[in-house]
């Protein structure tokens, strides 16, 4: 009975049922799309208040605010390094498996129907536009669309302002603390609908696109999944082992969140829950509130793997030979386009369109080869990015001595926790043990 009530079991059943319904009753299943869309909209409406309350209360409660610059520099450097590694892995995988070789596609014969909206979005992803987009038109306007970066921007400013006000800022800080508990409680209610959302999203995907559409591009999809698995198991696994904890146990700890992402092909629905569970692992609240939302925009490693792999696939399919200079230029552009697509619907596909619009060496019409199966590859992108951000947050917390290692290991080993991580009187249990 306990298993039936668990969210993990319910989502697994919903995922399996969604695939079966989509396969057996395709036309009817395609009409279930609103179930997945409604769940994502329900959760997205809570992301802005969750991020704002978490970051403001975290920064205002920090005792050493001078370390914030070091923290953000270290975070962005780690994200940059992981993105570069991701792009190289995607490039290596596509050259190793050659999924586009032998297709002999003539770009002029490809239909560009349906690419207009992606090309239009890609045209707005310049470097200047990206940074201007971080600044909201009004303070309240940052909450309108539920995008992470504008909310992150005003939350950091508000946190420092409340901290500078001292006792005068305490009443506002207390209200935000209470509001934080409220929004997390609301989110816990909404997560009960996760199985319904996962069922509707997967039933629509399988019913609308059909399992048969995977056949012609199965090698491409398989190549992406292999590249993503290599990045997670080898790169992230190596980093975890180097820092003394198990990647497998960390992934198991977030198993419910991964299943939600698998069903919805989006990492946004699990952001509030990830913030909460990372704190429960022993990571300091203020650090988690800064690093994880930043990773959602600057550490899209699944998208980075997809970008280099998909671009070279199109070149292979169209018999286009890319020189070393062209390849390096393409990777440099992708470093920016993978960040600029954050918060854009179909971010991976839009980022690819943005890249091809800039470099011109690969025909933009080649996107038509991918549009039919992109939905089946979005799960790999989302799952990889979520795993990378979870690992990165723990790594940064450990490097900043802002993670209770004893609590981390006990929680991952499913043992009873020994403490609760917070910013007030926060002291790692390991350091306490050394003192006694």
- Tell me the average pLDDT across 173-190: 84
Residues in contact with 198: Cβ distance below 8 Å, sequence separation at least 6, in sequence order = 11, 14, 15, 18, 36, 39, 259, 260, 262, 263, 264
* pLDDT at residue 149 in the model: 73
* pLDDT at residue 3 in the model: 63
- Within-domain flag for 3: no
Q: What is the crossing angle of helices 255-264 and 7-24, to 10°?
A: 20
- Tell me the average pLDDT across 68-84: 88
- Tell me the average pLDDT across 389-412: 92
The pLDDT tens digits of the residues spanning 130-142 come to 667 678 888 887 7
216 has a pLDDT exceeding 70: no
128 has a pLDDT exceeding 90: no
23 has a pLDDT exceeding 70: yes
**Separation CA 372–CA 217 (nearest Å):** 10
* pLDDT at residue 387 in the model: 95
434 has a pLDDT exceeding 50: no
- Within-domain flag for 156: yes
**Separation CA 391–CA 407 (nearest Å):** 16
Q: How many domains does the chain have?
A: 1
**Separation CA 200–CA 14 (nearest Å):** 9
What are the beta bridge partners of residue 403?
283
- Within-domain flag for 109: yes
357 has a pLDDT exceeding 80: no
Q: What is the DSSP string of 43-110?
A: HHHHHHHHHHHHHHHHHHT-S-TTHHHHHHHHHHHHHHHHHHHHHHHHHHHHHHH-TTTT----GGGS
3-state secondary structure of 416: coil
Residues in contact with 301: Cβ distance below 8 Å, sequence separation at least 6, in sequence order = 82, 83, 85, 86, 231, 384, 385, 388
- Within-domain flag for 48: no
Of the candidates 370, 361, 14, 356, the residue with the CA atom closest to the CA atom of residue 195: 14
pLDDT above 70 coverage of the chain, percent: 80
244-253 burial string, b = 16+ CB within 10 Å, else e?
ebebeebbeb
**Contact (Cβ atoms closer than 8 angstroms) between residue 325 and residue 308:** no
The pLDDT tens digits of the residues spanning 291-341 come to 888 888 788 899 899 999 999 998 888 888 888 888 888 888 888 777 655
- Within-domain flag for 22: no
- Within-domain flag for 60: no
Specify the CATH number for the domain of residue 218: 1.10.3860.10
- Within-domain flag for 102: yes
- Tell me the average pLDDT across 266-277: 86
DSSP state of 293: H
* pLDDT at residue 1 in the model: 61
Task: Give CA 278 to chain center in angstroms.
Answer: 15
* pLDDT at residue 241 in the model: 94
224 has a pLDDT exceeding 90: yes
Range of the domain at 314: 68-178+212-435
pLDDT band at 419 (very low <50, low <70, confident <90, very high): very low
pLDDT band at 211 (very low <50, low <70, confident <90, very high): low
| Residue 169 or residue 62, greater confidence | 169
- Within-domain flag for 309: yes
281 has a pLDDT exceeding 60: yes
**Separation CA 382–CA 264 (nearest Å):** 9
421 has a pLDDT exceeding 80: no
């Amino acid at each position: 009975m306990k298993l039936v009530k668990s969210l993990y079991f319910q989502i697994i059943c919903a995922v399996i049922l969604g695939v079966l319904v989509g396969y057996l009753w395709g036309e009817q299943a395609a009409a279930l799309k609103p179930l997945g869309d409604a769940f994502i909209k329900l959760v997205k409406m809570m992301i802005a208040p969750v991020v704002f309350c978490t970051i403001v209360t975290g920064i205002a409660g920090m005792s050493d605010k001078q370390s914030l610059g070091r923290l953000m520099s270290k975070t962005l450097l780690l994200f940059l390094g992981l993105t570069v590694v991701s792009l190289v892995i995607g490039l290596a995988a596509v050259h190793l498996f050659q999924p586009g070789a032998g297709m002999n596609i003539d770009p002029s014969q490809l239909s560009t129907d349906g690419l207009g909206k992606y090309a239009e979005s890609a045209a707005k992803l310049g470097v200047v536009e990206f940074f201007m987009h971080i600044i909201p038109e009004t303070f309240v306007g940052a909450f309108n669309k539920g995008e992470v970066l504008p909310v992150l921007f005003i939350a950091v400013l508000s946190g420092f302002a409340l901290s500078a006000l001292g006792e005068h800022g305490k009443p506002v800080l207390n209200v935000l603390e209470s509001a934080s508990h409220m929004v997390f409680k609301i989110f816990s209610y909404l997560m009960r609908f996760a199985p319904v959302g996962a069922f509707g999203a997967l039933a629509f995907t399988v019913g609308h696109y059909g399992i048969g559409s995977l056949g012609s591009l199965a090698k491409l999809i398989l190549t992406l999944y292999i590249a993503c698995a290599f990045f997670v198991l080898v790169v992230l696994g190596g980093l975890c082992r180097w820092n003394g904890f198990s990647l497998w146990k960390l992934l198991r700890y977030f198993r419910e969140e991964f299943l939600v992402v698998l069903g919805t092909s989006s990492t946004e629905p699990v952001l509030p829950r990830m913030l909460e569970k990372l704190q429960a692992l022993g990571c300091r609240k203020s650090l988690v509130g800064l690093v994880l939302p930043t990773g959602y925009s600057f550490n899209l490693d699944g998208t980075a793997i997809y970008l280099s792999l998909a671009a070279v696939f199109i070149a292979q399919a169209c018999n286009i030979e890319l020189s070393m200079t062209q390849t390096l230029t393409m990777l440099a552009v992708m470093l920016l386009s993978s960040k600029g697509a954050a918060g854009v619907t179909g971010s991976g596909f839009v980022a690819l369109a943005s890249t091809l619009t800039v470099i011109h060496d690969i025909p933009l019409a080649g996107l038509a080869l991918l549009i039919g199966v992109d939905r089946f590859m979005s799960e790999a992108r989302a799952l990889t990015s979520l795993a990378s951000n979870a690992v990165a947050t723990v790594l940064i917390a450990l490097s900043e001595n802002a993670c209770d290692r004893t609590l981390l290991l006990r929680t991952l080993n499913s043992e009873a926790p020994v403490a609760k991580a917070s910013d007030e009187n926060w002291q790692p249990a390991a350091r306490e043990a050394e003192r006694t």
